[in-house]
Structure 1
Amino acid sequence: MSLPTSVRPSLLDEAAKIQDKAYAPYSNFRVGAAIRTTSGAIYTGVNVENAAYPEGTCAEAGAIAAMVLGGETEIAEVAVIGDSDEPVPPCGGCRQKIREFAGPEVQVSMMSRTGKVLTMTVGELLPGAFTPDHMD
């Protein structure tokens, strides 16, 4: 679970660049996410809170929605940054959303506000995932 050489810092940079655009007036916990697709395109998202908790949207979900809107459905790499001294993993729901579009070997790099990075695979983050194969 260390930073592999294949992680491209630019994806973490993209997540960090947009983190301040998050709408988090209630928690003040801003999250930025960036997804690289198999075509090489990058899609980003931020968390958007709502006074009627839990009706907000996670950063990862926003990036996935942008990816689908862009006509793509295959994630090659994910980066997430949150307002924490430790790397922040995607919530359980977002792990499932990521798994819908990414194989278990896809890397998810998580970065703290201090620059600490933890990289895990989707399979490590969500073992035993419910996948489209279960729908057959």
Structure 2
Amino acid sequence: MSGDERAQRDALIAAARSAAAAAYAPYSNFHVGAALLFADGSVVTGANVENASYGLSLCAETVAVGKVLSDGRRGGLIAVAVTGGFPGQAGQGMTVTPCGRCRQTLNEVAQLGATDPLVWCDGASPVEIRLSHLLPHAFGPANLA
């Protein structure tokens, strides 16, 4: 990894950690943040939003993707950073990866731009993996064409 790539990764993880600090997680007390990097250099973040009716809770990645799509952005996703932990401790404990639903949600944006983003999973044992490896044989917009 070049110095520029390392700096890009570190900045994206820092953005995800910052987003995690804004999480609304009164039930689990587990704050998750996500940061999405686009080819034009823009970054969109999201934090988990819990609800007293647990099934209505939103993951950080889903919140970020909702922002992206509702702003009219289509494609260009090149990297994602995800982190989590107890308040003020994002990235210090277990390594957080996108859940299955979030993998599918991220895949939607990736397929719109024909990209396979790198996913940086922050934690004590960081993981760097392509979305296609997290969600092999993904179903997406191309399957409905």
Q: Measure the CA separation in 2 of the matches of 1:14 and 1:22.
A: 13
**Cα distance, 1:46 vs structure 2:** 0.2
The structure 2 residue matched to 1:107, chosen from 102, 110, 118, is: 118
Partner of 1:76: 78
Residues 35, 63 of structure 1: 8 Å contact kept? yes
Higher normalized helix content (fraction of residues): 2
Alpha carbon RMSD of aligned pairs, Å?
A: 1.6
**Cα distance, 1:64 vs structure 2:** 0.9
Partner of 1:47: 48
Partner of 1:123: 132
Per the normalisation by structure 1, the TM-score is 0.88
Q: Measure the CA separation in 1 of the matches of 2:143 and 2:61.
A: 23
Letter in 2 for 1:77: A
- The count of corresponding residues between Structure 1 and Structure 2 is 131
Partner of 2:61: 60
Partner of 2:88: none
1:74-102: CA deviations, max 9, x gaps? 21110000117221111101100001111
**Equivalent residues in 2 for 1:6-17 (5 A)?**
6-7=5-6, 8=8, 9-17=10-18
Runs of 4+ in structure 1 displaced over 4 angstroms? none
Structure 1 gap segments, 5+ residues each = none
Letter in 1 for 2:71: G
1:39-83: CA deviations, max 9, x gaps? 211100000000001101110011111222333122111000011
SS of match in other structure, 2:21: helix
